[in-house]
Structure 1
């Protein structure tokens, strides 16, 4: 037996070692790919659930079936006409474009995902006069992206009947 063989690996041993390294690399890559697809599946499931919630809420609050006290008439010439306007980045404004002032009771997200995305809007007892705007932030990050629904609860006069509008915010 030649003592130099123990320190000088043969070609077979080198190829065997290389195959082991390739196998280990492939295993690490497979775990990484599985983690990425798991995260994407989770994000897709959240969006699917959110879309399902939206469809259910839209069906439940269809204007033809909803009580008039919950919905603002869009053609009311004496009421507030609220709209949503994009300012910059994740900043949006709720604008009163109507001839009358209104009191904003609450600005909230419609679905669970919308509620996560909408930053807290400060409560304000001052009326939103015609031409005035109320700022809010709608966060758009990876799994929390796409259009959102914002629910605005308001009254046209103090102590008046509550009105509610749902706005689709075309956030990225």
Structure 2
């Protein structure tokens, strides 16, 4: 095998001989932050889109009024208590129909990470650095490890308000677990 890695600091290699005569070479490397971020995007496995099966026997919808996005929300709080969600490095928000609402972009992520985590909605509202003081609050239906799933209606509302404010691209997202 032949490879060239530029801009990296390589530590002392460790070689292990295998019984069949081949060798394994282990190398420790460090990289400038930009390269590490790019490397993270390449190496981080993208989890498959969540698949949800819902059996609904009876639904009564009474006078559903979808608010017009006039308020300027400063962030998004998703209450995922009781869904099995736990904090993770690269969370995603999906709609119940399987569409992706928001995911990380390691190149644009801010120093504080891609999302905030809180143990209660009240604690999340106190997180002013994530826009919690005037955040849109939605309830998660389910979670698949790092993927939070919201209803189609709430997904549409998140999209509408994000178009007006841009809180998703600003990483003003807090997940309550």
Q: Scaled by the length of structure 2, what TM-score is found?
A: 0.29
Q: Which has the higher helix share?
A: 1
Q: Specify the structure having the higher radius of gyration (Cα).
A: 1
Give TM-score scaled by structure 1 length: 0.30
